[in-house]
Structure 1
Amino acid sequence: MITLENIQNARDTIGDTLEAMPLIADYLLSERLGRRVWLKAESLQRTGSFKPRGGLNWIRTASRDELGKGLGAVSAGNHALGLAWAARAAGVPVTIVMPENASLVKVEGSRELGAEVILHGDINDAWALVHRLVKERGLTLVHPYDDPRIIAGQGTVGLEILEQAPDATAILCPIGGGGLISGIGVAVRALRPELRLIGVEPTGAASMAHAWAHDGPQRLERVDTCAKSLAAAIVGEHTYPLCRQHVDALTSVDDDAIIDAMRHLMLNAKLFVEPGAAVGIAALQTGALDLPAEGDIVVVVTGGNIGWDELTELL
């Protein structure tokens, strides 16, 4: 399992290249709630999301054999960008299969970073194809969320939050496959166990809640959400037990609430975000949360990779 030491080592591994992202005060929401709300602005990170943390940690800790014939991955987009960026710096070829409905901004961005991008079916079809390519080409699969080195890299977000927000009593974190919240959870439980960690999913892709209800990862029959970055059909064999151990509660928000939260972040907090990054704010605005009575709230804003056409269609 992942330990605090793994996450601290990951920070040492990537810290010379990836800077800590700031906490930004959400003044309007703070006034409404009567307590400070901080936004962990991972949308400002390299490639526009938190994903390069895990990608760079994986690349820099990989063996020559793992890197020798290139890498393969499945992604809705942000893992593709983060891994392509880290792989280009290391001179390692990477092939990424993305669903046909993937954001054009993410597809083009990944290709500009040197990745071979293949668009194929839905997320389940994309997984089937990448497994075939891994076997045929001898690629090493870099899982977008269910890999210890990826989880440790994403967990560096948690270390930063704990240092930046000493008065926080709750963290709200989006969940897709669970890699980010798993890493944050390990850091939180080791260093500030009383802090409440809440995962937020889209109602149309609540794969972690589905896993909790079935005592293990179970594939969703259907995924339907505007938050494509959170549209994992199944959580991981690593992320499920980590979330069970370290996450205090789960909640979900529908697409209307997500879009309202995007409007709030763009107009009031001045953060350009994609739908998946807004689910924590959506949960705060809808009020369907069991929060501590006092203390600051930190909301992880995971990414800002969305095209103008996509944005205008949503809003």
Structure 2
Amino acid sequence: MLQLQQIQQARDTITPTLSPTPLILDHVLSDRLGRRVWLKGELFQRTGSFKSRGALNWLRTASADELAGGLGAVSAGNHALGLAWAARAMGAAVTIVMPENASPFKVEGTRRLGAEVILHGDINDAWALMHRLVEERGLTLVHPYDDERIIAGQGTVGLEILDQAPEAGAILCPVGGGGLISGISVAVATRQPSLEVIGVEPEGAASMAHAWQHGAPTRLESVATCAKSLAAAVVGELTYPLCRTGVASLARVDEPAIRHAMQHLLYHAKLMTEPGAAVGIACLLDDVVALPPSGDIVVVITGGNLGREELQAFL
């Protein structure tokens, strides 16, 4: 199981390049709830999301053999951007398979960073193709969430929250494959176990809740949500037990709630986020989670990578 020391080492590894992201007070939600609601601004991180943390930690701890044949990954977009950015600095070739409905903004951004991008089917089809490419090309798979070095890098978000919000009672974190919330939960469990970590998933891609229900990672037959960054069909063999141990509860939000949250972030918090980053806000606006009785609330705003046409649907 991942240990706090690995997350601390990851922080030492990435800090010379990646600065901590800010906490921003959401005045409207704070007034509504009668307690401070802080937004952890991962949309301000390099490549526009938290994913650059794990990618950079992975690249900087990779062996020469791992890099020699090139890297491969499956991604809805943010892992692709983070990995392509981190790999470019080290001269490593990257091949990304993305589902055909991936954000054009993220596809183009990944290609500009020098990665080969292949659009193929849905997320399950994309994984099947990547496994074939690993065999055929000798690529090293860099899993978007089920890798200890990736999880440790994402866990640095948790260390920053602990330093920035000492009066926090709960952290609301979006859940896709579970890498971010796993890393945060390890950091929190060791340093401040009374702080509740709560996961939030879209109804149409509740893969962690599905795993909890079945007692193991179990693939969803299909995913359908505007929150494409959270559209993992199955959680990880590593992230499942970490979340089962360190996450207090899971909540789900529907598509109208996500759209409402996007509008709140745009018009009230003045943040242009992507839909997957808004699910924690949706959870608070729709009052679908049991919060601890006291303490500040920290909502992780995971990313802000969306194009003009995608944004238009939420205005």
Q: Does the residue aligned with 1:95 lie in a helix, a strand or coil?
A: strand
* Aligned position for 2:160: 160
1:215 aligns with 2:238: no
Q: Does the residue aligned with 1:100 lie in a helix, a strand or coil?
A: coil
Counterparts of 2:147 and 2:295 in 1: how far apart (Å)?
A: 33
Counterparts of 1:49 and 1:263 in 2: how far apart (Å)?
A: 19
* Aligned position for 2:47: 47
1:17 aligns with 2:42: no
**Paired-residue identity, %:** 73
CA RMSD in angstroms comes to: 0.5
Counterparts of 1:93 and 1:244 in 2: how far apart (Å)?
A: 35
User: After superposition, what is the alpha-carbon deviation per residue over 1:67-117, rounded to whole angstroms, capped at 9, x for unaligned?
Assistant: 001000000000000000000011100000000000000000000000000
Matches within 5 A, 1:163-202: 163-202=163-202
Structure 2 residue runs of 5 or longer lacking an equivalent are: none
Counterparts of 2:74 and 2:221 in 1: how far apart (Å)?
A: 19
* Aligned position for 1:151: 151
Q: Which residue identity lines up with residue 32 of structure 1 in the other structure?
A: R
Counterparts of 1:84 and 1:256 in 2: how far apart (Å)?
A: 33
Counterparts of 1:177 and 1:272 in 2: how far apart (Å)?
A: 23
Q: 1:313 deviation in Å?
A: 2.4
Q: Does the residue aligned with 1:35 lie in a helix, a strand or coil?
A: coil
The runs of at least 4 consecutive aligned structure 1 residues that moved more than 4 Å come to none
* Aligned position for 1:80: 80
Counterparts of 2:88 and 2:307 in 1: how far apart (Å)?
A: 23
Q: Does the residue aligned with 2:216 lie in a helix, a strand or coil?
A: coil
Q: 1:18 deviation in Å?
A: 0.3
Counterparts of 1:261 and 1:294 in 2: how far apart (Å)?
A: 23
Q: Which residue identity lines up with residue 305 of structure 1 in the other structure?
A: N
Q: Does the residue aligned with 2:313 lie in a helix, a strand or coil?
A: helix
Counterparts of 1:63 and 1:178 in 2: how far apart (Å)?
A: 25
Q: 1:252 deviation in Å?
A: 0.3
Counterparts of 2:290 and 2:309 in 1: how far apart (Å)?
A: 36
Q: Which residue identity lines up with residue 222 of structure 1 in the other structure?
A: S
Q: Which residue identity lines up with residue 287 of structure 2 in the other structure?
A: G
Q: Which residue identity lines up with residue 160 of structure 1 in the other structure?
A: E
* Aligned position for 1:263: 263
Q: 1:314 deviation in Å?
A: 3.9
* Aligned position for 1:94: 94
Would you say how many aligned residue pairs link Structure 1 and Structure 2? 315
Q: Which residue identity lines up with residue 146 of structure 1 in the other structure?
A: D
* Aligned position for 1:117: 117
Structure 1 residue runs of 5 or longer lacking an equivalent are: none
Counterparts of 2:122 and 2:222 in 1: how far apart (Å)?
A: 10
Counterparts of 2:48 and 2:64 in 1: how far apart (Å)?
A: 28
* Aligned position for 1:282: 282
Q: Which residue identity lines up with residue 257 of structure 1 in the other structure?
A: A
* Aligned position for 1:30: 30
Counterparts of 2:291 and 2:32 in 1: how far apart (Å)?
A: 15
Q: 1:294 deviation in Å?
A: 1.2
* Aligned position for 2:62: 62
